[in-house]
Amino acid sequence: MQFTAAQIALMIQGEIEGDASVAIASFGKIEEAVEGQLSFLANPKYEEYLYTTKASIIIINDSLALKSSINQTIIRVKDAYSAFATLMTKYQEIAAQQLRGIQQPSFIAPTAQLGNNVYFGAFAYAGEKVIIGNDSKIYPGVVLGDRVKIGANTTIHAGVKIYNDCVIGDHVIIHAGAVIGSDGFGFAPQADGTYKKVPQLGNVIVENHVEIGANTTIDRATMGSTLIKSGVKLDNLVQVAHNVEIGENTVIAAQTGISGSSKIGKNVQMGGQTGVSGHISIADGSKINGKSGVSKTIKESNKSFNGNPAYDFSTSKRIEVHTRNLPALEKRVKELEKLVEQFNIDRLKPDLGSKTSL
């Protein structure tokens, strides 16, 4: 697919400087792009490449003043990074529209319902009473259990497994290998030291505009629903346990684990390898630094936390500074101990000058 600068500017509401008829067919990083590709500059760190890149079209911020003239066509926008993301999304959507129809071999139960313009890949499986919305894409090797509901314009990538009764909303993307609706980790200890499995009878509900990374797992609820609300973004290798609720527009980085029945607020940001204990709440707008361990409820909104156990961010940084200074502090304490010891020795010495002669 090819797009001219004029077409691109229209899509991202940009202003053209240069040849509006020049066309591109692909994208490239500004330091590596070649002729026929489009690139962008958002980070000033890479500005030097603006004057050496071979890209045919470059998207830049309105506010950027050029240090010298360049031959490429420029499209100025308010936010180059956001505009580039919008453009790539449109490109991806156009490419995806070419995927339609049911490939063979695959299995679709007689009671399943597929909407218009659905793509259903080879070796995919749809159980009884599955519903798939219009324009959704089910890639090869996907398994949809009985009574699973998939919304419109949703993409389920290869090898995803969605267990019985789970609900996936509109405009959702689930990446390869993710498992939605596996049993929660529920076992009742017995008097003889064994564990009895607690049946997990609930489901998982994923609302609209959610993205779930590769090999992420979301457990079904014991009763009720594990709930992923609209706009949530989960990275690869995230574990979400049974009956967890994650609020709107929360983002969670890779290798994070959230224990059962915890409630994560909206607009929360969690760094990689964060651990969250069970049955606690995290307030809206919280920012949790990577590798932190959250063991208690966070009640106050819009605060930053760090460490294990997690402290508010400013306290954790002070603790870190003092920890690094421990060797110097130890040396100072030893020096003070010597001074005190010497002072005591001097104080106890007899004052020979004050004695009277006999």
CB 262 within 8 A of CB 279: yes
d(CA 255, CA 253): 7
CA angle in degrees (0–180, nearest 5) for 195-201-206: 120
Residue with tokens 């500005």: 47
Parallel/antiparallel/unpaired status of strands 281-282 and 263-264:
parallel
Q: Distance of alpha carbon 162 from its chain centroid, rounded? A: 20
Q: What are the CA-CA distances from residue 319 to residues 101, 310, 330, 331 (Å)?
A: 59, 12, 16, 19
Mapping DSSP to helix (H, G, I), strand (E, B) and coil, where does residue 324 land?
Answer: helix
Is 279 labeled as catalytic in the residue annotation? no
User: Got the DSSP string for 134-154?
Assistant: TT-EE-TT-EE-TT-EE-TT-
Catalytic residue among 171, 175, 242, 322: 242
Residues belonging to the active site: 242
